[in-house]
Structure 1
Amino acid sequence: MSRILALAVLLSCGLELTAVGKEEMICRCGRGHAHLLPAPVSEKPGRKYARDRHVDVQHLQLDVTPDFAKRTVRGTATLIFHPIAKPVSELELDAVGLVVEKVSVQGATLASHEVTDEKLVIHFKDPVAPDVQASVNVTYRAQPERGLYFRTPEMGYKPGDTQLWTQGEAELHRFWFPCYDYPNERFTSEVICHVPEGMSVISNGVLVSQTKDAGGLQAWHWRQDKPHVNYLVALAAGYFHKLEDKVGELPLTLYVPPSEKEQAAGAFRDTKKIIEFYQDEIGVAFPWDKYAQVYCLDFVAGGMENTSCTFNTASMLFRDETEQLTTLHRLDAHETAHQWFGDLVTCRDWSHLWLNEGFASYYTVLYEEAKSGRDAMLYSMWREAQRVLEKNDTRPTVWRDYKDPMEQFDQRVYPKGAWILHMIRARLGPDLYRKAIRRYLEKQRGTVATTDDLMDILEEASGLSFDQFADQWLYHGGLPELNVSYSWDAGTKQAKLNVKQTQKVSPEVLLFNLDLPVRFWVKGEAKPRDFSVTVSKVEEDFHFPLPSAPELVRVDPDYTLLAKMSFTPPPDMLKRQLQGDVIGRMLAAQALGGRKDAESAAQLADVLNKDAFHGVRSEAAKALKKMNTPEARAHLARSLSQPDARVRSDVVEALTAFPHPEAWDALMKQAAMEKNPEVLAEIIKTWSQRPGDAAITSALMKHLESNTYWNTVAAAAIATFRAQDDASAVPAILARLQKTPQEFATWDRSAALEALGFLARDEKNPQRTAVLHYLTEHLNNPRESLRVAAAKSLGLLRDPRALAWLAPLAATSKPFKDPVRDAAEKSITALEAAQAGPQELKDVWNKLQELQKKSEDMQRQLEKMPAK
């Protein structure tokens, strides 16, 4: 799949994940699926609550010097604090993998310090009293495995793009400085970073000074004088191309790697408009001294809303040749919204994460309306709803049973959180909602908040009770599943709706009590008739007096309820619904897709080629795919010349459901004229259905040698060779990767390594030894994701000689989950199973099961990390 398609597949990659689809590129782990996500320090069972705070950290100063060549950092961390209620005899700081060289104390007397796998514990000779301000200075060095990341020529990056950057959420800063690494503590901070002349440094707050230090390095001094939480502390340093702008007196800057300077303007296109819109919509001025955006190479998330300086993944940068398929305004809007929701007010603990992510996701949608209109806004809510419906998750949004905070970053807090706010806004109305949210921000400004804090303010502002709403939607899981049927009683002139709640009720999922809006259009009346009924039982009948049988019935016509709705109006109503609002048209297209008749296929084809909104046209393409009839295939084959690349892409994807010469010919003709590399890559992937076709093999070889932005097309050719299981392509793939590895995105290189291992697995393959050596070379690659891919690929290769390289990796010991070690263990087990005799198979199988569980645990982390 192409980079853009991979975006749509990847669910919780990265720390932000507020949208799905080729055009919904919010906060993903770049455009691919092979990024490694921050691994948890440890997984701990049991319910989670906010930490106890024995001291109030008032200020943090970091003075650090990175060594880019060695990928290490030396520094001094100074924390100023005072005990809160009782004297303290020790200060416990989070620290993983730090070499502590010296500890000193001011305002108290140091007794000793000790370093464990996860902590730095500083003991005081005499307890520090609550009214005493004290500070500790920790001199340390580290080669961080998490939290701070280098991108250097030694790692295979372009020399002119050398950079480092940090990523602290959820609890990862402990890997590069000692700290209180939890969100229920706010403090001011400053960062001093020493770098070679010519590099830039970006951090929180304002730039205090830039001077030459005694060692000849440039010392950049940044100060954040408004309190924020630990995970929002940020540092980026290296070579960047910079753009500047202003919103009033607020400075705006954008930094990209120098090699990406041509893509910078596209990333900066909406920032000013977004901030202006938010200041007006929220009613609270931008709360920080500046706003910078830094695009980071192989960022571990899609974006991260550090206070006053967002860090985004450079792999989201794009060229205009991808047309409507790529945009950064949603990523921009999401991270910018966090400057209010998440930074100005932060969730008190990770169970309330939706207060950060749900708000950022919803305000992204509100900006979508301001930018592109109401249809685009409703379509965004539609896509958010689909993500929730697809998961069928019964865990609550406010959930305390996670083993690691990263389990929280999924659809329950992003799209479902956005929908919870959308339902609140629908209940209050836009003006009262806006007033309540402004009050929430003003009251909680500069503090940490819980869900109850928000509910209390909603009640204060509206006079309405939100107890039941919060209980159903936030403290319990699931969502209502409604089966609705319509009938008309001519004798009583009443429309009847039968409503059944079909969700499985359990301690986790309640029987919902909700208001259900219903709208009827009656012939001869200029305006529709609106009703609202309260659904609270397993099954209920509702009657609506009307002068005559309605021409159209819509349930939830304004799209204000998150529910899995089953309601199919009569055929004549469906035709009228196709002429109505955008959600109604998409629902009608879905309903037609469940039929098999030629008339319905023709209706969908008409929608696909004529509807005014791209989302409806895309839904029609999906419905034709679902229909899966010869007529549907013919309509799709004739509809590839879509002017909107988003719809064209969906038509390509729909045609993959038809392994038929008509579909293949249409796709081949489109490939010959397709100028969009992302759409072309999608077409190439469809060729996996045609192994052994000489014309296809020839075309794949040609595309393998092509040069496009990040070699999207060549990567698609490699993926297709693997899908075809065409071992004859191994020499060409190997040569292509060796020729220009830097020109492939990291996730595509990882996928290509796995393709090589898979395709060369036959022991008679003449390239097997060459592939073995190429893969083992990557086991020492500085990029962790490539090491993981190499370890996995050696298991796919099935060559027992690989055991000698894999064994040391499996034997490594680290105080946190290690994806490289896990991949090596799984590959060793696979290789041993392939070599084992009958008497050994049982033991090997048991080991395989054990390692499979570890792999699944890691995969869940990958799926849930989600973009952010």
Structure 2
Amino acid sequence: MHHQLKKAWFGGALCSLLGWSAATVAQQKDPADPALQIYRASATKINDLVHTKLDVRFDYGKRYMYGKEWVTLHPHFYATDSLTLDAKGMNINAVAVVKNGRNTNLTYTYADSLQLHIKLDRTYKADEQYTIYIDYTSKPEEYKSEGSAAITDAKGLYFINPDGKVPNKPTEIWTQGESESSSVWFPTIDKSNQKSTSEISITVDKKYKTLSNGLLVKQVNNSNGTRTDTWKLDQPFAPYLFMMAIGDYAIVKDNWHGKEVSYYVEPAYEKYAKDIFGDTPEMLSFYSKILGVEYPWPKYSQVIARDYVSGAMENVTATLHGQFVQKTDRELLDDDRLGNSVIAHELFHHWFGDLVTCESWSNLTVNESFADYSEYLWFEHKFGKDAADEHAYDALQGYFRSAQYSGDKDLVRFHYHDKEDMFDAITYQKGGCILHMLRTVVGDSAFFKSLNLYLKTYAYKATEAQQLRLAVEEVTGRDMNWFFNQWYYGSGYPELDLNYAYDENTHQVSVFVKQVQKANKVWELPMAIDVYASGKKERHMITLSTRADTLTFTSSAKPDLVNVDAEKVTVMKKNDHRDLSTYVFQYFNAPNYLDRREALEICLKQQSNPDARKVVLAAVKDKFEGLREYAISGLKLDDDAVKTAIAPVLADLAKNDPFAKVRSAAIAQLGKLADAQYESLFESKLSDRSYTVEGQALAALSSTNLDKAFTLARSMEKDAKGELLSGIAQVYVKKGDEGSLPFFKKHFEEASAGQEKFEAAVQYIGILSTTSNTESVNQGFDQIKDMADQFHNPMVNNYLINILTPVLEKKQTAAKSATGEQQAAFNEQATHLQGILQSLKAPKTTTEQE
């Protein structure tokens, strides 16, 4: 699974949210929480799934699914005369054992509406299969489920706009099984260490397309205007990976090695399907090659779902994506490869997660860290090492922020409040970074050979992290307990304090390293140190293993740079006591993206220094667009020397850089100058293909000619998407135009759940801040609060608090300067918003969490 709101969002303009499951602070500080005392073991296997056959049809009015199931099982080892199936919130109409094509009714109990306890007709041994027939009704809208920050709902089966009453929204049905919600729509043993083959027959109105696991083996047109599609997969997979999607889709087909590759999109996006998903065949080839295991399933389809409750889901052979992936060619210019990374992530799961599956949610990282790291591997292959390293840097910073906010935990953890808490930045981002470290420690050849052995040894089985360790040990011949105990079965990260000295008499370079993390844990850290001196670079491989290490190297001259952790792969923070000159040298001579970024970060803080400014000027023209954008965004144009040196370069970049985010960053900086000489440039970029560039150009134009910007903004509303909407909002807020409120209210209400909803909320808040009508303002704030409740994420609440607090202050200030009815209105708005802020700040109680 990929959680859509993934990237960093603190500071500056709105970027993607870091939407990881973040337990509340109160929970983290309460080790006495009974739930945290439970050892979360792998589920005990009494019976094993073998095959699941379903026949389903739908009642759109009631939001019901009528199902018939034939589930084949056998005892795992010990003989048994009973079977327990997970079946959540259903009506159970009949339960029978199937013998020679005939059903014999069985005794069952279903008191809690969560588990179906069946008394079998006799005692079965491990080598005896039996088939149970169940007639049931799934009622997902009536099932009371609790989601999480990662997966905002757990109904299993979703009816989207089933009565067609919502304009401009398609009617769809789709499922979401992870973590244990498949049992809302069919009875099963809903555990990740179970696997079953499947046959799913879906009856729908003829106008709809269907998608499910495996191959479409049969289609039958029925006399009542419906059609029954039967999908079959003969390879076993976990229950949480079962899926259905039904809707009015356009299907665009590709192929790979004779296997169908298909893309299910809304009809309006049919012509963009290959723009969105077109890299999939190349990804299939790339991953098959590096893993030495060819894509193991008979087809690969991807489908877009409206109002999806997470980001994307790797259902076997049929990945489901949230609507945020579905974009026009223009929108893709501003995608910053997010959609591409999600597509890669879900595909890689078809090896790690689908072929080999975590045996328990405690070991979820053996699914998710690999999918997270697959994004790095793909970026490295497709876009180059700089792009991959930038992606990894963002992931690591996301983990650091999450750890600071919600506490740190083991990568593999056997104690948690709820299984949904495992879907966090530790399991994903930290896990992916740890795999990158492991690759560096053992070397590329050994790393990929280890993955190959792991996949081949445990294909169609469930595993834990120790089995990954054993695979690495078998390939390398090395004991890897030190690595796994430290990174998988422990928490936290090292923090290093670095100092340097050079003795001209002995020609000795000394590096003084202290591990200063507060925890008592001392880390074993193998890493490379590069010493640059006399025009040469010499690499030293070292291992830190004590609280304080002194490393000594011979150098014929005082080094220009001693580059600790030269590969820049260690999950750590460091305080590096070095001169500016070493960073200047580092930018121009050390090879990696992270070397250049680290140097640039220091130089951006000292732009008034000519040497630092030299680096900044070079960085705005760096070979990698990500660093160009970072350098531009950090410019201090209030420094005349900086402005004189860089403003002409910015104008050129704004016009001609091939990457939209660089053009946008350059325009944003020029806009801060409020200089009329750039007005024609800003106007020219209002016809840029990128919505982000258009939005920034509009905002920049408002700094020199607000009336013109306002008039143009009105004319651009009809085709406003993404950051163009933000630009329009900035102009309207600056103009103080209350008449624009209905436009942004409508946009917020129609926005799809997730990232799009949140971005619409930020724009809506901007307009509400300038609106005087109390009824409209309070209604708008209530809508924002309702959205926050649906996100179910403390980090979202925290972000909203940060942007709503200045709005409160603005309303309070307005009240002080007003009189009479107007003063009363602003006071009422401030009081209402104050209550909402208090609600957002309040931690949920344990009862609410559960």
TM-score by length of 2: 0.80
1:3 alignment counterpart: none
Distance in 1 of aligned mates of 2:351 and 2:696: 38
Q: Which moved more, 1:89-98 or 1:187-196?
A: 89-98
Q: Which moved more, 1:674-683 or 1:715-724?
A: 715-724
Rate the CA distance shift 1:857–1:465 in 2: closer, same or farther, 3 A: farther
Distance in 2 of aligned mates of 1:124 and 1:168: 27
1:810 alignment counterpart: none
Distance in 1 of aligned mates of 2:382 and 2:311: 22
1:852 alignment counterpart: 842
Rate the CA distance shift 1:321–1:47 in 2: closer, same or farther, 3 A: same
1:670 alignment counterpart: 682
- Paired residues of 2:95 and 2:105 also in contact (CA < 8 A): no
Residue by residue over 1:531-583, the C-alpha shift from the partner in whole angstroms, topping out at 9 and shown as x without a partner, is: 12221122221110122222332222222322213325433332322223133
Rate the CA distance shift 1:849–1:667 in 2: closer, same or farther, 3 A: same
Q: Which moved more, 1:700-709 or 1:289-298?
A: 700-709
The reply to whether residue 170 of structure 1 matches residue 179 of structure 2 is yes
Cα shift at 1:37: 9.5
Q: Output the amino acid matched with 1:217.
A: T
2:740 alignment counterpart: 732
1:80 alignment counterpart: 72
Cα shift at 1:493: 0.4
Distance in 1 of aligned mates of 2:786 and 2:494: 50
Distance in 1 of aligned mates of 2:540 and 2:19: 49
- Paired residues of 1:496 and 1:541 also in contact (CA < 8 A): yes
Q: Output the amino acid matched with 1:116.
A: D
2:112 alignment counterpart: 116
Cα shift at 1:715: 4.0
Rate the CA distance shift 1:605–1:423 in 2: closer, same or farther, 3 A: closer
Choose from 602, 621, 640 the match for 2:613.
Answer: 602
- Paired residues of 2:250 and 2:265 also in contact (CA < 8 A): yes
Rate the CA distance shift 1:101–1:670 in 2: closer, same or farther, 3 A: farther
Q: Output the amino acid matched with 1:732.
A: S
Alignment of 1:88-107 (within 5 A): 88-106=80-98
1:260 alignment counterpart: 269
Rate the CA distance shift 1:611–1:776 in 2: closer, same or farther, 3 A: closer
- Paired residues of 1:701 and 1:717 also in contact (CA < 8 A): no
Q: Secondary structure at the match of 2:94?
A: strand
Cα shift at 1:707: 3.8
2:46 alignment counterpart: 54
Q: Secondary structure at the match of 2:425?
A: coil
Residue by residue over 1:789-818, the C-alpha shift from the partner in whole angstroms, topping out at 9 and shown as x without a partner, is: 9xx99xx99xxxxxxxxxxxxxxxxxxxxx
Cα shift at 1:851: 9.0
1:866 alignment counterpart: none
1:645 alignment counterpart: 660
Residue by residue over 1:38-89, the C-alpha shift from the partner in whole angstroms, topping out at 9 and shown as x without a partner, is: 999x995433221112111111122111234554322123321122234445
- Paired residues of 2:6 and 2:18 also in contact (CA < 8 A): no
Q: Output the amino acid matched with 1:92.
A: T
Distance in 1 of aligned mates of 2:278 and 2:674: 41
Q: Output the amino acid matched with 2:453.
A: R
Distance in 1 of aligned mates of 2:83 and 2:585: 69
Q: How many residues align?
A: 777
Q: Which moved more, 1:543-552 or 1:110-119?
A: 110-119
Q: Secondary structure at the match of 1:287?
A: coil
Alignment of 1:829-868 (within 5 A): 852-854=842-844
Alignment of 1:751-762 (within 5 A): none
Cα shift at 1:761: 9.6
Cα shift at 1:615: 2.4
2:567 alignment counterpart: 558
Q: Output the amino acid matched with 2:179.
A: A
Cα shift at 1:748: 5.1
Distance in 2 of aligned mates of 1:347 and 1:362: 16
Residue by residue over 1:707-735, the C-alpha shift from the partner in whole angstroms, topping out at 9 and shown as x without a partner, is: 466633574267548977x9x64443225
Q: Percent sequence identity over matched residues? A: 25
Q: Output the amino acid matched with 1:648.
A: R
2:291 alignment counterpart: 282
Q: Which moved more, 1:310-319 or 1:219-228?
A: 310-319
2:352 alignment counterpart: 341
Cα shift at 1:285: 0.9
Distance in 1 of aligned mates of 2:581 and 2:525: 29
Cα shift at 1:100: 2.5
RCO higher in structure (CA 8 A, sep ≥6): 1
Distance in 1 of aligned mates of 2:483 and 2:16: 37
1:531 alignment counterpart: 540
1:573 alignment counterpart: 582
Cα shift at 1:452: 0.3
Q: Output the amino acid matched with 2:661.
A: R
- Paired residues of 2:9 and 2:16 also in contact (CA < 8 A): no
TM-score by length of 1: 0.79
Distance in 2 of aligned mates of 1:498 and 1:279: 44
- Paired residues of 1:14 and 1:303 also in contact (CA < 8 A): yes
1:399 alignment counterpart: 413
- Paired residues of 1:719 and 1:752 also in contact (CA < 8 A): no
Choose from 535, 540, 549 the match for 2:558.
Answer: 549
Q: Secondary structure at the match of 1:854?
A: coil
- Paired residues of 2:726 and 2:763 also in contact (CA < 8 A): no
Cα shift at 1:233: 0.5
Cα shift at 1:352: 1.2
Cα shift at 1:629: 5.2
Distance in 1 of aligned mates of 2:328 and 2:745: 23
Choose from 686, 698, 711 the match for 2:721.
Answer: 711
Q: Output the amino acid matched with 2:685.
A: M
Q: Secondary structure at the match of 2:716?
A: coil
The reply to whether residue 64 of structure 1 matches residue 73 of structure 2 is no
- Paired residues of 1:201 and 1:237 also in contact (CA < 8 A): yes
Distance in 2 of aligned mates of 1:752 and 1:16: 16
The reply to whether residue 367 of structure 1 matches residue 378 of structure 2 is yes
Q: Secondary structure at the match of 2:410?
A: coil
Q: Secondary structure at the match of 2:567?
A: coil
The reply to whether residue 140 of structure 1 matches residue 151 of structure 2 is no
Choose from 378, 394, 397 the match for 1:383.
Answer: 394
Rate the CA distance shift 1:277–1:167 in 2: closer, same or farther, 3 A: same
Rate the CA distance shift 1:228–1:360 in 2: closer, same or farther, 3 A: same
Distance in 2 of aligned mates of 1:242 and 1:181: 31
1:826 alignment counterpart: none
Q: Output the amino acid matched with 2:44.
A: D
Q: Secondary structure at the match of 1:185?
A: coil
Q: Secondary structure at the match of 1:448?
A: strand
Cα shift at 1:278: 1.0
Distance in 2 of aligned mates of 1:571 and 1:38: 38
Alignment of 1:720-799 (within 5 A): 720=730, 729-734=737-742, 737=745, 765=772, 767-769=773-775
- Paired residues of 1:32 and 1:748 also in contact (CA < 8 A): no
Cα shift at 1:31: 8.6
Distance in 2 of aligned mates of 1:549 and 1:779: 60
- Paired residues of 2:748 and 2:764 also in contact (CA < 8 A): no
Cα shift at 1:470: 0.6
Cα shift at 1:356: 1.0
Rate the CA distance shift 1:736–1:460 in 2: closer, same or farther, 3 A: closer
Unaligned segments of structure 1, at least 5 residues = 1-12, 23-29, 798-829, 836-840, 862-868
Distance in 1 of aligned mates of 2:82 and 2:727: 59
- Paired residues of 1:255 and 1:294 also in contact (CA < 8 A): yes
Cα shift at 1:157: 5.4
- Paired residues of 1:63 and 1:75 also in contact (CA < 8 A): yes
- Paired residues of 1:601 and 1:632 also in contact (CA < 8 A): no
Cα shift at 1:236: 0.9
The reply to whether residue 426 of structure 1 matches residue 440 of structure 2 is yes
Q: Secondary structure at the match of 2:620?
A: helix
